[in-house]
Amino acid sequence: MDADVSQSTVGGSVQAPPSKSYTHRAILAAGYADGATVTDPLVSADTKATMRAVAAYGGAVERHEDSLDVEGFDGRPDIPEDVIDCANSGTTMRLVTATAGLGDGLTVLTGDNSLRSRPQGPLLDALSQLDGRAESTRANGQAPLVVGGPIDGGSVSIPGDVSSQYITALLMAGAITDDGIEIDLETELKSAPYVDITIEVLEAFGVDAHTTESGFSVAGGQSYDPEGGEYTVPGDFSSISYLLAMGALAAPDGLTVTGAYPSAQGDSAIVDVLQEMGADLTWDRDAGEIHVSRSGLTGIEVSVADTPDLLPTITVLGAVADGTTTITDAEHVRYKETDRVSAMAEELTAMGASVEEEHDTLTIHGGESTLSGATVDGRADHRIVMSLSVAGLVAEGATTVEGIEHVDVSFPDFFDVLVGLGASVSRE
């Protein structure tokens, strides 16, 4: 499915969508518990994959309009009757792979073509260090995976610069083991705020995990039990980034995003990025409201070591800003649903941007860029689709974005929201 986005303005007020990162963790945490209600969840293709995994392990998820009632499997999972299909959700695969290590038997996990190309080797190695069985069927560190246990806990050594999701998976499963898990990081941790999110969710579910001098630790023998049996999901700053970019680029009378409360989300850094670029932006943290208006932006240098999901948004902002924007520490962004570094460089170049791609860096020469409508490939990646659609708001003419159905991964209503804010969009 494609969308034609024409140069247009936006304005008004919009509610931030719920956080995908928090929703994944909350659903699985409720699965580890006897059960819990997850309020204001994001229901998307990715989080549905986590729901299915919880059900496969012996739990159940009942959907209501604004909540999920999760019946848990109380710590130790059942052995699934069938293969767990994680579809396109890398978060699901990594988190529930560690869950499989708690089972007294073998679990097979797979996903779509994209997910089967993503690295899982360090997590498999960590589970092997804990005396679990953890194998790639193709012996290449990629899905399909065969995982089993039960593991009792212990110490693991794991790189921190491939995916923070490995750390999240081990912490969440480690609380259920008898002995807990000590995690020693072999390299600097990338995307560290996502582990902060995990620790925040664990605390809300009554589980203690913490940082150590060499990594992280979680004690064993703990139980998941949120206060009042309920957990509320906050707004998602990864998705908010597209809304704020729209406002800074195409909202002459301003755009207000509600439900934007402070949390452990690293992607709230988009506020600092926009302010450093010169955006007219204010954030009332107590009210959870961010107001942003169309502004003249100036290029900056920004690291995405801890905020990989912001790279597509920042790339678009850089293409419109005066001067040069340099995005550094970007290597790990190549291992997402697609190689987002190359994808953004190639698609924005097709729209007229001047972009230089290096292995770990993107340099966008906004002063040398004039965006024009073109047909661009969303790369079957929700973040590429949404960022290119934002670019379409300020490109001369019409921009055709291919594969827009993939926004269902994290922001299913994205194009409805875009139209509601006044953008000129037609869908085929």
Residue-wise pLDDT for 206-234, tens only, equals: 999 999 999 999 999 999 999 999 999 99
Q: Smallest Cα–Cα separation from 90: which of 316, 382, 377?
A: 382
pLDDT value of residue 337: 87
Q: Confirm whether residue 94 is marked as ligand binding.
A: no
Q: Report CA torsion sign: 236, 237, 238, 241.
A: positive
CB 145 within 8 A of CB 169: no
Instruction: Look over the chain and give the mean of its residue pLDDT values, rounded to a whole number.
Output: 97
| Mean pLDDT, range 414-423, rounded to an integer | 97
pLDDT value of residue 428: 80
Question: Is 309 an annotated catalytic residue?
Answer: yes
Q: Which two tokens stand for residue 31?
A: 């699965």
Residue type, 56: A
Residue 22 CA: distances (Å) to CA of 212, 238, 359: 23, 12, 30
Q: Which two tokens stand for residue 96?
A: 């529930």
CATH 3.65.10.10 assigned to 20-232 = yes
Q: Confirm whether residue 129 is marked as ligand binding.
A: no
Q: Which residues fall within 8 angstroms of residue 292, CB to CB, at 6 or more apart? A: 244, 247, 248, 251, 254, 255, 257, 274, 279, 280, 281, 282
pLDDT value of residue 281: 98
Q: Which of 15-19, 263-267, 277-281 has the highest mean pLDDT?
A: 277-281
pLDDT class for 309, splitting at 50, 70, 90?
Answer: very high
Q: Confirm whether residue 285 is marked as ligand binding.
A: no
Q: Let me know the angle formed at the C-alpha of 20 by 77 and 73, rounded to the nearest 5 degrees.
A: 15
Q: Report CA torsion sign: 293, 298, 299, 305.
A: negative
Report the C-alpha gap between 246 and 14 in whole angstroms. 12
Fold of 2-17+235-427: UDP-n-acetylglucosamine1-carboxyvinyl-transferase; Chain (3.65.10)
Strand arrangement, sheet containing 145-148: 84-85, 106-110, 145-148, 133-136
Q: Which residues fall within 8 angstroms of residue 64, CB to CB, at 6 or more apart? A: none
Q: Which two tokens stand for residue 425?
A: 């969009």
What backbone phi and psi angles, to 5 degrees, belong to 13? -130, 145
Evaluate if residue 90 carries a pLDDT over 90: yes
Q: Confirm whether residue 191 is marked as ligand binding.
A: yes
Residue 419, judged by CB atoms within 10 A of its CB (0-12, 13-18, 19+), counts as middle
Buried b (16+ CB within 10 A) or exposed e, 222-234: bebbbeeeebebb
Q: Confirm whether residue 90 is marked as ligand binding.
A: yes
First-to-last C-alpha distance (Å) of the chain: 6
Residue-wise pLDDT for 335-347, tens only, equals: 898 999 999 999 9
Report the C-alpha gap between 339 and 311 in whole angstroms. 11
Report the C-alpha gap between 208 and 223 in whole angstroms. 10
Catalytic residue among 40, 309, 329, 377: 309
Residue-wise pLDDT for 336-383, tens only, equals: 989 999 999 999 999 999 999 999 999 999 989 999 999 999 999 999
Q: Which residues fall within 8 angstroms of residue 117, CB to CB, at 6 or more apart? A: 142
Report the C-alpha gap between 291 and 257 in whole angstroms. 6
Tell me if domain 2-17+235-427 and domain 20-232 are identical in fold: yes
pLDDT value of residue 416: 97
Domain ranges of the chain: 2-17+235-427, 20-232
Strands (E), 64-180: 67-71, 84-85, 106-110, 133-136, 145-148, 154-158
Q: Confirm whether residue 340 is marked as ligand binding.
A: yes
Evaluate if residue 418 carries a pLDDT over 90: yes
Report the C-alpha gap between 112 and 100 in whole angstroms. 19
Report the C-alpha gap between 323 and 142 in whole angstroms. 41
